[in-house]
Amino acid sequence: MAMTTGLDYTATDLNCYDSDCLYHLNTPDSFWYYHNVAYTLTQSIVEGATETSFGTYFYERLKYRVGMQGTWINLGYNRVYFSNARSMARFGLLNLIKGIWGDNLILNDLNYFSEMTNASQDINKAYGYLWWLNGKESFRGSGSAFEFSGKLIPNAPDDLFAGLGKNDQKFYVVPSKNLVVVRLGNNAGETVLGPSRFDNELWEHINLVAN
């Protein structure tokens, strides 16, 4: 979940989790690079730990309890949750209030929540556990092996944490402003995974309203 598996990020198919696809290019915990297989395989880990299918576990423990809509769909090796803006906002609000939904305690481990939304390692301080983090002194993007100085999204509040999906599907959580922002639609010109220039451009306009 910290994206420090060391898996070969130069592979042709970053979604393939067959045994002959999983080659290591770097020693685990020595290098950071976003790799789709890393989060896809967490679903199998959940299934093993709970002795139920990931879909059933997700629906019973999260979807139905917070009133989300949508379904998991297999796209080749990748498994994607297709939903809508309102449901994404509900998930964002759940994280804004640290896993509590009305009288339901969805996440009862506040220590994990803190670890999840803070730097999970020192190689890319702008990444927690499957969350992107703002306000750090440097960051690495999802499609690059290089480190860049400065904040991930300079125009956004420092305490922002975000789910930054492919082709500019995004949602941002900002505790200091009690704010959740969801953005769906076509990509903004960069067909990339995770952060893009669009984040900073969008926050320039959000600030005109949010402030």
Alpha helix stretches (DSSP H) within the chain = 36-50, 54-58, 64-66, 85-96, 110-116, 197-210
Radius of gyration, CA atoms only, the chain: 17
β-pairing verdict for 161-164 and 138-140: unpaired
Which residues make beta-bridge pairs with 104? Answer: 101
Q: What angle do CA 88, 34, 13 make, to 5 degrees?
A: 100
Could you tell me if 10 and 25 are in contact, meaning their C-beta atoms sit under 8 angstroms apart? yes
* Integer CA distances (angstroms), 189 to 7, 26, 186, in order: 28, 31, 9
Listed by start position, the domains of the chain span 117-211
Residue 20, exposed/middle/buried by CB under 10 A (0-12, 13-18, 19+)? exposed
Please give the Cα distance from 178 to 190 (Å, whole number).
29
Could you tell me if 184 and 169 are in contact, meaning their C-beta atoms sit under 8 angstroms apart? yes
Among residues 103, 132, 105, which one has the least CA distance to residue 119? 132
In order along its 211 residues, the chain shows pLDDT tens digits of 999 999 998 888 889 999 889 999 999 999 999 998 998 999 999 999 999 999 999 999 999 999 999 999 998 998 889 999 999 999 999 999 999 999 889 998 999 999 999 999 999 999 999 999 999 999 998 877 889 999 999 999 999 999 998 888 999 999 999 999 999 988 888 767 789 899 999 999 999 998 7
Full-model pTM: 0.94
Q: Write the single-letter amino acid at 140.
A: R
3-state secondary structure 49-85: HHCCCHHHHHHHHHHHHHCCCCEEEEECCEEEEECCH
Phi, psi of 145 (to 5 degrees): -95, 5
